[in-house]
C-alpha cells in the first residue's frame, strides 16, 4: 500500500484547508507548492538531501523500491533536507526506520527550532515513525532530519500527510487510556493520503514498483502497508475512528468508490480493494469481472458504515448522491436475490468456493466452505437497519418501515431457526452447501453475531459471549492483531465494559510486536489497530452515538470498573465540537464547545432511576431498553457555549 520509491511523487492539490504540498520535486511552476520534499524514498540516490560523513545511500535492504539512506553508528551524523514553505499548512511526516542501537532521532525543525521529534529505539527491523502536526507559515524553513545513534540507522519511504482536521484530547484517572488514545490518533492520521499526489498503482509484494501511476484522491490506508490500496473490510472497521478524526472527505470518497464498483456485471459485489486513485482495482485482488476477491459481509458492512459516517458528518451526500443511494438499494435487494439459490431463505450466500469466487465469511482460514455464515447474516441485519434509518432521513417513510420490518424479521429468524438450539460452542454459526451446520469456534463468523447485535440478549447470548472470550484468550486466539481488534466492539455491544477494555489494552500492548506478515512491520503499523482504538474510545468507552443530521447525540458511560473518570475534548459532530466527561456510570458533563447549532443530548445511565439531576435540578427520568439493558434517560437542549451536567444518585 505504500508508494514505491521508484515512482516520483507529485502533489497537485491539497485539502481545501491546507496549502498544496509536493513530494518529489517535479512540480510545475504553476503549482506553487507550499512545500517540496525531493526524492522521499532515496530512489534518486542523494538528490535533494544533505549527507554528513558516515552517511549515504544503499540498495541492500530497502523497505520498498530499491534505495534507502543509512547512517553509520556514532554521534554527529545526519541526513537532512531543508525546504522553504510557500504557504501556511499543517502536516504529519512519517518514515520507515530501522536502527541497531539507541540515540538516533527523526526530527522536524521549523526556523531552527525543533517542532517535533522521535527518539528511535533499538529495533533492527523496519517500523514506521511519525512526527505529527507540524505547523508551517509561508516563508518558514523546514528541516527534516535523521540523526545517528549508538548503532547504524536505515531510513526509507518518507511520507507526508495532512494533519487531521480534528485533534481530540483525552484525560482520565487512568493514564493507560491517555497514552493509548494519544498514540492511536497520531498513528491513525499518519496513514492519510494527501489528495493530488501522483503515485504508483497496483503495488504489492510481487509488484513492488506497481504497474503505472495515478493521481491519488482523498483516502487512507486500510489494509497491508505494503500495498497501494485500501480494503473494504478494513475500511469498514476504520470508519468510526476516521470520523472521530474528522476524515469525512476520505470516508465519503472511499465509500463512493466501493459503491461505484458494485456493478451488475459484478453481481453487485463491491471489489475487495481499490488503489488510492479511488478508481482502479488493486490487481492482486482483481483479475476480471468473474475472478476477483469478494466476501459477502463487506457488501452489507459498507451500507452500515455509510449510515455511521452520515451520523457523524451530517453530509447530505449519503442520502442524495445517486451512486451511494443506488448501492444501498442494490446491496439490500438485488444482491440478496442474486445470491440466495442454494439455501433459499432471504440470506445472502457465498459460493462455497475460494475468495476469488465469493465467500460467505471473513474467516478465510480453515477447511470449512460455508455458503451462509454468522458474519454475513449479522452484517445483513445491520444493513437493513441502516437502510431504514437512511430512508427515513431521505423522507421515504414507507421504505424506512419496510426495512425496519425486514431487519426485525431477519433477527427473529436468526434466533428462532437459523442459529439452531444449541448454546455456547454448540450454537450454529454457518451452513455448508449440503445443509451441514457448523458450530464451535469460527472466529469472525462467531464474534460478528453478537457484535452486529443480531443475537437476542439473554442467557444464550451471555453464554456465547463467555465462549468467545474463552476461545480468544486461549488456543482459538487469532494470530493476526487486526482480527482481535474486533473484540472490544463485540463486548461493548452487550455492555460488558470490563471485558471490552481488557481487549483494548491487549491490542495496544501488542503494538510493538512483529506482525505475522513480515513486510507489514510491527502490529501497530497495521492501520486498523490505531483506527479502531480511536473509535472504541469514543464510541465504546464514552458511548457516544452521534446524529448530526438531527443535531442530536446520546451518550452512555461504559467506563470499566477501574477507571474513575474519562474526558474527551474536541469531539466533532456535524458542524459543532463537544467536550464530554463521564464520572463513573452516574455523572456525565457535556459542553457544546464550538459551532452554530444547539444539539439535543440524551444522557443515558444504566439501571432504573426515578430522577436525573440536570445541573443540580431533579427531573423525572424516562426509561429505555437498549439491546436488552435498561437505561434511565434525560433529554436536554445544549446551546452553543453551554455546559450541562446530568447525574443520578
Contact 293, 373 (CB under 8 A): no
pLDDT for the residue 27: 34
Whole-angstrom distance, CA of residue 182 vs CA of residue 420: 44
Which runs of consecutive H residues, i.e. helices, occur in 395-496?
397-413, 444-451, 459-473, 481-484, 487-492
Where does the pLDDT of residue 605 fall: very low under 50, low under 70, confident under 90, or very high at 90 and above? very high
| Mean pLDDT of the region 44-48 | 96
| pLDDT over threshold 80, residue 12 | no
| Mean pLDDT of the region 225-237 | 96
C-alpha distance from residue 539 to each of 72, 232, 425, 547, 571 (Å): 46, 21, 29, 13, 11
Where does the pLDDT of residue 519 fall: very low under 50, low under 70, confident under 90, or very high at 90 and above? confident
Whole-angstrom distance, CA of residue 250 vs CA of residue 315: 12
Query: In the predicted model, what is the mean pLDDT of the chain?
Result: 93
pLDDT for the residue 195: 87
Q: Which residues touch 47 (CB under 8 Å, ≥6 apart)?
A: 25, 38, 39
| pLDDT over threshold 80, residue 551 | yes
**More confident call, 380 vs 12:** 380
* pLDDT tens, residue by residue, 607-629: 999 999 999 999 999 999 999 99
Q: Which three cell numbers stand for residue 493?
A: 455491544
pLDDT for the residue 4: 35
Whole-angstrom distance, CA of residue 494 vs CA of residue 605: 14
| Nearest Cα residue to 185 out of 514, 501, 530 | 530
Where does the pLDDT of residue 28 fall: very low under 50, low under 70, confident under 90, or very high at 90 and above? very low
Which runs of consecutive H residues, i.e. helices, occur in 175-321?
175-189, 232-244, 248-261, 296-313, 317-320
DSSP string covering 123-142:
EEEEEEEEEEEEEE-TT-EE
* pLDDT tens, residue by residue, 96-134: 999 999 999 999 999 999 999 999 999 999 999 999 999
pLDDT for the residue 9: 30
| pLDDT over threshold 70, residue 255 | yes
pLDDT for the residue 18: 33
Which residue matches cell numbers 474528522? 246
Where does the pLDDT of residue 34 fall: very low under 50, low under 70, confident under 90, or very high at 90 and above? low
| Mean pLDDT of the region 523-551 | 98
**More confident call, 200 vs 144:** 144
| Mean pLDDT of the region 144-170 | 96
| Mean pLDDT of the region 345-372 | 95
SS3 365: coil
| Mean pLDDT of the region 377-405 | 98
**Residue 640 CB-density burial (10 A; 0-12 exposed, 13-18 middle, 19+ buried):** middle
| pLDDT over threshold 50, residue 55 | yes
2-16, 25-39, 205-219, 430-444: which has the highest mean pLDDT?
430-444
| Nearest Cα residue to 556 out of 565, 544, 573, 548 | 544
| Nearest Cα residue to 184 out of 244, 248, 115, 254 | 244
| Nearest Cα residue to 5 out of 181, 159, 140 | 159
Q: Which residues touch 205 (CB under 8 Å, ≥6 apart)?
A: 226, 227, 519
- Taking the model in full, what pTM does it have? 0.94
pLDDT for the residue 472: 98
| Nearest Cα residue to 81 out of 116, 49, 57, 55 | 49
Q: Which three cell numbers stand for residue 368?
A: 470449512
Amino acid at each position: 500500500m505504500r508508494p514505491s520509491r521508484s515512482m516520483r511523487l507529485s502533489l497537485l492539490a491539497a485539502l481545501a484547508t491546507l496549502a498544496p504540498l509536493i513530494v518529489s520535486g517535479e512540480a510545475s511552476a504553476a503549482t506553487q507548492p507550499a512545500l517540496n520534499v525531493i526524492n522521499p524514498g532515496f530512489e534518486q540516490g542523494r538528490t535533494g538531501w544533505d549527507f554528513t560523513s558516515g552517511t549515504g545511500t544503499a540498495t541492500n535492504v530497502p523497505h520498498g523500491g530499491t534505495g534507502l539512506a543509512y547512517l553509520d553508528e556514532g554521534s554527529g551524523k545526519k541526513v537532512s533536507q531543508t525546504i522553504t514553505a510557500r504557504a501556511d499548512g499543517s502536516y504529519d511526516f512519517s518514515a520507515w526506520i530501522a536502527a541497531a542501537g539507541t540515540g538516533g532521532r527523526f526530527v522536524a525543525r521549523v526556523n531552527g527550532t525543533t517542532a517535533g521529534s522521535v527518539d528511535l529505539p533499538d529495533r533492527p527491523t523496519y517500523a514506521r515513525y511519525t512526527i505529527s502536526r507540524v505547523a508551517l507559515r509561508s516563508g518558514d524553513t523546514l528541516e527534516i532530519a535523521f540523526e545517528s545513534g549508538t548503532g547504524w540507522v536505515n531510513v526509507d519511504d518518507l511520507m507526508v500527510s495532512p494533519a487531521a482536521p480534528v485533534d481530540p484530547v483525552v484525560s482520565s484517572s487512568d493514564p493507560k487510556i491517555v497514552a493509548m488514545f494519544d498514540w492511536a490518533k497520531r498513528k491513525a492520521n499518519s496513514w492519510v493520503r494527501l489528495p493530488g499526489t501522483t503515485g504508483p498503482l497496483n503495488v504489492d509484494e510481487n509488484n513492488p514498483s506497481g504497474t503505472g501511476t495515478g493521481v491519488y484522491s482523498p483516502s487512507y490506508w486500510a489494509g497491508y502497508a505494503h500495498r497501494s490500496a485500501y480494503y473494504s473490510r478494513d475500511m469498514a472497521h476504520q470508519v468510526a475512528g476516521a470520523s472521530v478524526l474528522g476524515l469525512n472527505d476520505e470516508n465519503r470518497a472511499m465509500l463512493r468508490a466501493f459503491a461505484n464498483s458494485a456493478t451488475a456485471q459484478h453481481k453487485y459485489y463491491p471489489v475487495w480493494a481499490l488503489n488510492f486513485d479511488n478508481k482502479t482495482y488493486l490487481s492482486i485482488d482483481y483479475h476480471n469481472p468473474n475472478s476477483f476477491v469478494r466476501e459477502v459481509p463487506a457488501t452489507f458492512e459498507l451500507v452500515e458504515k455509510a449510515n455511521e459516517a452520515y451520523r457523524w458528518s451530517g453530509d447530505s451526500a449519503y442520502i442524495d448522491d445517486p451512486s451511494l443511494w443506488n448501492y444501498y438499494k442494490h446491496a439490500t435487494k438485488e444482491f440478496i436475490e442474486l445470491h440466495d439459490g442454494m439455501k433459499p431463505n432471504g440470506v445472502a450466500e457465498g459460493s462455497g468456493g475460494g475468495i476469488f469466487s465469493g465467500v460467505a465469511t471473513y474467516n478465510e482460514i480453515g477447511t470449512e466452505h460455508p455458503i451462509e455464515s454468522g458474519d454475513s447474516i449479522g452484517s445483513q441485519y445491520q444493513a437493513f437497519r441502516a437502510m431504514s434509518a437512511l430512508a427515513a432521513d431521505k423522507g421515504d417513510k414507507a421504505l424506512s418501515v419496510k426495512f425496519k420490518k425486514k431487519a426485525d424479521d431477519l433477527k427473529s429468524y436468526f434466533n428462532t431457526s437459523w442459529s439452531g438450539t444449541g448454546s455456547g460452542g454448540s450454537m450454529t454459526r454457518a451452513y455448508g452447501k449440503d445443509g451441514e451446520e457448523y458450530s464451535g469456534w469460527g472466529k469472525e463468523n462467531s464474534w460478528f453475531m453478537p457484535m452486529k447485535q443480531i443475537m437476542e440478549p439473554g442467557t444464550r447470548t451471555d453464554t456465547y459471549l463467555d465462549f468467545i472470550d474463552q476461545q480468544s484468550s486461549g488456543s482459538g486466539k487469532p494470530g493476526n492483531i487486526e482480527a482481535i481488534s474486533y473484540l472490544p466492539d463485540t463486548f461493548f455491544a452487550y455492555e460488558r465494559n470490563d471485558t471490552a477494555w481488557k481487549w483494548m489494552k491487549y491490542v495496544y500492548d501488542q503494538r510493538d510486536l512483529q506482525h505475522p506478515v513480515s513486510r507489514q512491520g510491527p502490529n501497530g503499523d497495521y492501520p486498523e489497530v490505531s483506527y479502531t482504538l480511536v473509535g472504541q474510545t469514543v464510541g465504546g468507552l464514552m458511548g457516544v452515538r452521534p446524529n448530526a443530521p438531527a443535531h442530536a447525540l446520546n451518550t452512555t458511560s461504559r467506563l470499566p470498573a477501574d477507571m474513575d473518570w474519562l474526558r474527551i475534548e474536541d469531539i466533532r459532530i456535524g458542524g459543532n465540537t463537544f467536550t464530554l466527561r463521564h464520572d463513573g456510570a452516574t455523572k456525565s458533563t457535556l459542553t457544546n464547545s464550538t459551532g452554530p447549532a444547539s444539539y439535543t443530548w440524551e444522557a443515558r445511565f444504566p439501571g432504573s432511576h426515578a430522577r436525573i439531576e440536570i445541573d443540580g435540578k431533579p427531573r423525572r427520568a424516562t426509561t429505555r431498553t437498549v439491546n436488552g439493558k435498561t437505561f434511565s434517560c434525560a433529554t436536554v437542549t445544549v446551546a452553543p457555549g453551554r455546559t450541562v451536567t446530568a447525574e443520578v444518585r
